[in-house]
Amino acid sequence: MAGTERSIDELYQDDPERADAAVFGRKTGVDRRGFLGGSGLAAMSAAVGGAIPFAANIPGGLIPAALAQEKAAPAKGPQYLKFPDKHEGLVVLGDRPLVAETPESLLDDDTTPTNKFFIRNNANAPDPAKDPDSWKLTIDGEVNQKLEITLGELKKRFRPVTRRLVLECGGNGRSFFTPTARGNQWTNGGAGCAEWTGVRLADVIRAAGLKGSAVFTGHYGIDGSLSDPNRPALSRGVPIRKAIDQNNLIVWAMNGEPLTNIHGGPVRLIIPGWPGSVSAKWLTRIWVRDKVHDGPGMGGTSYRVAIKPMIPGGKPDPNNFRDLESMPVRSIITSPANGTKLGADVRELNLRGAAWDGDLSIRRVDVSVDYGATWRPAQLQQAKNRYDWRRWTARVRVPSEGYYEIWTRATDQRGTMQPHVAGNWNPQGYGANPMHRIAVLIG
């Protein structure tokens, strides 16, 4: 690849055959079977660092996982986060506002530690609250009685609950789209599963008394936009049917500790299963409305996906979009890490991972070591509660030393599986959930 100005991904998205020729020295006009049976296979083996036992199964135009990371990382390599009390392995995707994702191998805990939890801001974080219990929250709009309550009063008046819930950025997986979609280029690391402590949003809304005219909520925090601090950076909401789900929480603690400022402390919303943008940080107001909310981040193509498939890279038709609601099915491999090298005598791999799926549940997770030619089921652990992710384990055997790709594929309760590649392209890059794959070199 020396001397080229184009990335591997750009080459493959334009013309897989020419990409094979450029990357592995394949002559044009030779079919892939011939390529993989001769000098092309030798070049590919050299590129990935070892023999490829299941080379015959490699799909045409597939970028080996050992090389595919080039797409997500800038030319100078990933920039790692330097932030108080956060893990140094998080990868910075943006610094104004601060956005950082968690590599899959750091999501190997059943409960995601706070220091490993991803960061997604829409503006600069406000200053930490000096007296958290005096923080004020207002519930107004289409309610019988406006409710103004401090965090201290909230803790005393309503029964606290603790739930382990997945929180996921709406753009998680965005980097897998071709052509590139707008926004932070997340891989799979815009998600985490922490234990949140707070009170049910439904209890607080009902205390104010919902009117029959209530249709939607609008959520507000104190973070102002980067261009105008007096305007909200983001204000999204959910239909009332989702707002009164018993699993939604107004939280003040994360993993048994007071909610940190960078994660929305002293109080935030957690609306599990839906894009993280509706889980407002530094929460000050919930406006119950008689129509669909129209705050910043609502409408247009913001947090919306195409109803009918559009031409990738094409001009969007505003009438062909709907709000992204339940997040898509996803599974990841958390151990071993991508690029792991093992001794030549290893013939068995112990795999671990996680799977989750918006408002639905996970039916099964399968893994493959031969490019999807065969699949075997993983063992699923029980969830602690609804909207918890499902941890999974699997043990697989390999025939010899060499280069292997481990693929994982989750299936939801309706039978929908993760696709091989990201589908339903949209300008803002929502809903990309292709199968996760990692490279392992034995010997």
pLDDT of residue 40: 75
Work out the pLDDT band at 44, boundaries 50, 70, 90.
Answer: confident
Nearest to 33 by CA among 56, 16, 64: 56
The dihedral sign for the CA sequence 331, 334, 338, 344: negative
Q: How many CB atoms lie within 10 A of CB 29?
A: 8
CA-based end-to-end distance of the chain: 25
pLDDT score for 42:
86
Per the structure block, which two tokens stand in for 374? Answer: 């065969």
Which pLDDT tens digit goes with each residue over 227-268? 898 899 999 999 999 999 999 999 999 999 999 999 999 999
Encoded amino acid at 96, one letter = R
Distances (CA, A) of 342 to 43, 153, 334: 22, 55, 16
Q: Which fold has domain 330-442?
A: Immunoglobulin-like (2.60.40)
Contact assessment for residue 296 and residue 232, using Cβ atoms and an 8 Å cutoff: yes
Residue 8 has pLDDT above 90, yes or no: no
- 3-state class (DSSP) for residue 23: helix
Task: State the residue for tokens 């799909």.
Answer: 59
**Residue 21 pLDDT:** 62
As a whole number, the mean pLDDT across the chain is 92
Q: Where are the domains of the chain?
A: 8-72, 114-323, 330-442
Strands of 119-184, DSSP E:
119-120, 136-141, 147-150, 161-168
**Homologous superfamily of domain range 114-323:** Oxidoreductase, molybdopterin-binding domain (3.90.420.10)
How high is the pLDDT of residue 29? 47
391/164 Cα distance (integer angstroms): 12
Contact partners, residue 193, CB within 8 Å, separation at least 6: 111, 112, 164, 165, 166, 167, 354, 356, 388, 389
Q: Which of 305, 280, 78 is nearest to 171 (CA)?
A: 305
CB 62 within 8 A of CB 371: yes
Predicted confidence band at 6 (pLDDT cuts at 50, 70, 90)?
Answer: low
The pLDDT tens digits of the residues spanning 94-111 come to 999 999 999 999 999 999
Residue 17: pLDDT over 80: no
Q: For 161-180, what is the mean pLDDT?
A: 97
pLDDT at 355: 98
Question: What pLDDT, on a 0 to 100 scale, did the predictor assign at position 127?
Answer: 96
DSSP E strands in 8-75: the ranges are: none
Q: Which residues pair with 80 in a beta bridge?
A: 91
Q: What is the pLDDT of residue 50?
A: 92
- What are the strands, taking DSSP E only, across 317-373? 321-323, 330-335, 340-342, 348-356, 362-368
pLDDT tens column, 293-325: 999 999 999 999 999 999 999 999 999 999 999
Q: Give the pLDDT band (50/70/90) at residue 152.
A: very high
Q: What mean pLDDT do residues 219-229 have? A: 93
Of the candidates 268, 93, 91, which has an alpha carbon nearest to the alpha carbon of residue 165? 268
Predicted confidence at residue 297, as pLDDT, reads 97
Q: Is the pLDDT of residue 200 over 70?
A: yes
SS3 124: coil
What is the structure's pLDDT at 3?
45
Query: Percentage of the chain with pLDDT > 70?
Result: 90
Of all residues in the chain, what percent carry a pLDDT higher than 90?
84
Extract the tokens encoding 218: 């609008």
- 53-69 burial, b at 16+ Cβ within 10 Å, e below that, comes to bbbebbeeebbbbbbbb
Question: What stretches of 106-207 adopt beta strand conformation (E)?
Answer: 119-120, 136-141, 147-150, 161-168, 191-200
User: 407 pairs with which residues across the strands?
Assistant: 368, 437
Which tokens hold the place of 149?
């309550």
In the structure, what pLDDT confidence band is assigned to residue 10 with cuts at 50, 70 and 90? low
- 20 DSSP β-pair partners: none
Q: Helices 16-24 and 39-48, interaxial angle, to 10°?
A: 70
What pTM was estimated for this model as a whole?
Answer: 0.93
Q: What is the 3-state secondary structure (H, E, C) of 402-420?
A: EEEEEEEEEEECCCCECCC
Q: How far apart are the C-alpha atoms of 50 and 195, rounded to whole Å?
A: 42
Q: For residue 43, what pLDDT is reported?
A: 84
Neighbours of 139 (CB within 10 A): 24
Q: Among 15-24, 62-71, 275-284, 295-304, which is the least confidently predicted range?
A: 15-24
Mean pLDDT confidence for 264-278: 98
Sequence-separated (6 or more) residues with CB below 8 Å from residue 419: 433, 434, 435
Mean pLDDT of 281-299: 98
Residue 219 tokens read as 């959520």
